[in-house]
Structure 1
Amino acid sequence: MWDKQVQLLMRDYPYDSVMATVVLDQGYAYLLTAMRHRGERLGLAPSTLVDISVHTVILDTVTYLQLCERFNGGHFLHHVPEVDAKDDGSVLRTADLIDADGWEVDWSLWTDAAKCAPCHPGSDSH
């Protein structure tokens, strides 16, 4: 699954294998953190770059369902996008939580914090 998703990122974006791997790693850290904090209604949000890898993961629906079953208590982490982005600090709060949960954060991928916001504020959806 990992290799296929890295290849998809390289196919669809101007990434080499190193960049695709780093972006995908951050996407998984985001998703697994969101799953770990299910029910807390934190309004987590990825940066624009991390969101690219999140979409790559969730569009691989078979693998994504298995991920949700294994790490989210069998609950599907839905994607409910909002149209308007706002600068509310949620992206950097999300990166801080990912870091606090023990994931290595590549801060360079989280610097566009003003360009994204909770896709579905106050819910467990992405």
Structure 2
Amino acid sequence: MTTMVETPVALRHGRDLVSPELFEKLSAFCAAEYGHELSTARKVMDQALAFLKVMGDAKAFDMAPSEIVDPGWHTFMLHTQDYATWCEEQFGYFVHHAPNSKIRTRPLMVSVADRIKAAGFEVDERLWGTSADCNQPACCGDGGCCC
């Protein structure tokens, strides 16, 4: 009888979907514009890029980012030339942002995080409000304590 050892699969990161220079430019803007520490802004941008990739690949426009991840999408969109070029390269079309913050329920955030995980991306549960140590209502991905 032989025993097979499974090698863990390396998870993908949203940050790897853009050049390191663009990632740092977006992270710095996100930090300055939304008042985040740079380390938090990098996490937000990483998750926003993974979210966009999954949503755009699947044309899954029922997905929504958490309140804390949404500024990452806004940041990228404000860099319109970079964003438009990236969308065209990744999907062949421009991904429009149709905000609807009223649909940010915990079950939806769990579903979105699960879809991102299923695509092989690392998910920061704290930014999606899906972490086990979430303390509702003050902290569930949308609160400052989850960073």
TM bucket by the smaller chain? 0.7 to 0.9
Aligned residues: 112
Q: Is residue 96 from structure 1 mapped to residue 114 from structure 2 by the alignment?
A: yes
Separation in 2, partners of 1:86, 1:22: 19
Displacement after TM superposition at 1:13 (Å): 2.3
2:73 aligns with 54
Helix, strand or coil: the match of 2:71?
helix
Q: 1:109 aligns with which of 127, 137, 143?
A: 127
Counterparts in 2 of 1:35 and 1:109: CA distance versus 1, 3 Å: same
Counterparts in 2 of 1:89 and 1:65: CA distance versus 1, 3 Å: same
Q: Which moved more, 1:14-23 or 1:77-86?
A: 77-86
Runs of 5+ consecutive residues of structure 1 not aligned to the other structure: 115-126
Provide the TM-score with structure 2 as the length reference.
0.68
1:65 aligns with 84
The answer as to whether partners of 2:31 and 2:37 remain within 8 angstroms in 1 is: yes
Displacement after TM superposition at 1:76 (Å): 0.9
1:1-126 correspondence runs (5 A): 1-38=22-59, 41=60, 43-72=62-91, 74-82=92-100, 84-85=102-103, 87=105, 89-111=107-129, 112=140
Q: Deviations for 1:45-75, whole angstroms, at most 9, x for unmatched residues?
A: 1100011111111121101111111111x21
Larger Rg: 2
Provide the TM-score with structure 1 as the length reference.
0.79
CA RMSD of aligned residues (A): 2.1
Helix, strand or coil: the match of 1:48?
coil
Compare relative contact order (CA 8 Å, sep 6+) and give the higher one, 1 or 2: 1
Separation in 2, partners of 1:103, 1:54: 17
Displacement after TM superposition at 1:18 (Å): 1.1
Helix, strand or coil: the match of 1:31?
helix
The answer as to whether partners of 2:127 and 2:141 remain within 8 angstroms in 1 is: no
Displacement after TM superposition at 1:42 (Å): 5.5
